[in-house]
Amino acid sequence: MSSRRQSPKILKKSDNAPLTRADLQYDLLASLFSDTNEVFTDPFPSQLDNRAARSRVTFRNLYVNAIMNSPKASKLLKDKMSDTPEFATHFAMLSLLTNVGRINTTMSFFPEMKTTIRTYHPVPALQRTSGSLQDAPRLKSILKALVYDCDSPKLATTLRDCRSRIDTGISPPTHIANLIFILANETISVSKLHFSGEVDFLDLFTSIRFSSHSRARAFLWLVYNYYEATAQSSKPLESDTVRTDNNPFSDPSRPGERPLLEELTEAESALENVDPDDENEISDKLISQRMQFLAAQSPKESSKVGKNSVKDDESVMSIESTVKSKGKRRGALGTGKAKNGKSAADATEGFVDHSTPIRFSDVQYRSSLYRSSPLQMRQARLISAPMHRYSPYARSHERHWTNVALTRSPPRTLLEHAWHVVARTDPLADSDEEMEDEHCRNDYVQRLNIVCRLRGKNPTPEPE
């Protein structure tokens, strides 16, 4: 597969910058989606006009119906596309630009976007009706999620795969969105095979010196060439190419051949993709709506940090607030700070949590102070007043804490303690959640004494 040179072809815009008609190459898209030739086989039952599967349709209906048959397309989106044909066309236009890699996957197109990992862009030429154009990652996921019977068990990933399926009579060899992904991935090969290196496939969607109508016709010719398995030319071709002599988009003077690209002068190019005044007004309105949303959202985010509440199917929830809130909570625990500014040890000193379950017959305690104190001070901490934390285990009964010195058990030998640990410890429980007794505490003290004596001595590392 040829490497994909798409970086210079991707639209790059700053936040709140609109996508103009020149950015979209709107006249090209309008020519594609207004073509009236019903020559493409739709493998899916039509959700637009209830046609049966494998009906002959226009490119517009083929592409729109493919989107509506994607498992990733929500019911809200499907209903909107069925009820409003103009919105369906505009949504398909933006999806096609995502399909060929023209739209950056960091772009979003609805003012209610909450995430900070994408940039918002109004698209006034495609937002004349109500309805969310969503964002580029969602558009791409809708197209990637399409499932066509002939793509099972192996999805076609190259033009050679399409050719081999056409040779076996499979028509179409894959669904339309996947074919366009393949053409965009093999843009250099397509350029060498069909455009003599003059332009490549992705150039058709950029501002070049050729007319929008001729570029649209060349695109439809390519799609028909690799999508429809009809009578093929008897001339020898490359092993990974397909050509049909009855291609309706071919040059009339050269049946089966690619239509010529019509070159424009600078004056003629300036007449294409002109933004009308009403679309500039739509753009200003959408930007203002976005700014109002951000202004209204800021106090809500500050008062409800980390709260995930998404009710609109077309909205995107920000994950940054959640990450920040988790980081703050972890930071408070890590530094031992409580809400009132005291340390965690001071805030919990003398506090008795009667909800803490007692799992062993011996006196239980918590030693979180053990983990937060310096190495040399841990021994003193271990014999200080215990601190209690919530435990997920069921409560058997409640027990009030008394003086630890009054409840100490007779000392155990190493063998007795080992047997006690094996017999009384839950092996599936997290060690941080275990409720240790006095014997375990003594065991920790002895281990700490050894560690303190060995610290810094060869071969142990130097203290940090």
CB 64, CB 48: distance < 8 Å: yes
CB 171, CB 164: distance < 8 Å: no
Q: Report the share of the chain in percent with pLDDT over 90.
A: 48
pLDDT at 418: 79
pTM value surpassing 0.75: no
The amino acid occupying position 10 is: I
**Cα(193)–Cα(53) distance, rounded to whole angstroms?**
32
pLDDT at 369: 39
pLDDT at 333: 44
Residue 206: strand, helix, or coil = coil
Whole-number average pLDDT of the chain:
76
Which residues, in sequence order, are CB contacts of 270 under 8 Å at separation 6+?
none
Q: How far is CA 167 from CA 185, 227, 228, 347, 373, in A?
A: 22, 12, 11, 77, 74
Q: Render pLDDT for 127-184 as a digit per residue (tens, 0 to 9).
A: 999 899 999 999 999 999 998 988 888 899 999 999 889 888 888 999 999 999 999 9
Most confident of 62-66, 388-392, 408-412: 62-66
Q: Render pLDDT for 73-112 as a digit per residue (tens, 0 to 9).
A: 999 999 999 999 999 999 999 999 999 999 988 999 999 9
Structure tokens at 332: 């408070």
Tell me: pLDDT of 242 over 80.
no
Q: Which sign, positive or negative, has the C-alpha torsion 384, 390, 396, 398? A: positive
Q: Render pLDDT for 246-271 as a digit per residue (tens, 0 to 9).
A: 889 998 888 888 999 999 999 999 99
Q: How far is CA 22 from CA 154, 174, 206, 287, 362, in A?
A: 38, 31, 9, 19, 78
Q: Which sign, positive or negative, has the C-alpha torsion 146, 151, 154, 158? A: negative
pLDDT at 246: 83
User: What's the full length of the chain, in residues?
Assistant: 464
Phi, psi angle pair for 456, to nearest 5°: 85, -10
The pLDDT confidence band at residue 427, using thresholds 50, 70 and 90, is low
Q: How many helices (H) and strands (E) does the chain have?
A: 18, 4
The pLDDT confidence band at residue 460, using thresholds 50, 70 and 90, is low
pLDDT at 464: 54
Tell me: pLDDT of 70 over 80.
yes
Domain ranges across the chain: 7-270, 344-454
Tell me: pLDDT of 296 over 80.
yes
Q: Which sign, positive or negative, has the C-alpha torsion 148, 157, 162, 203? A: positive
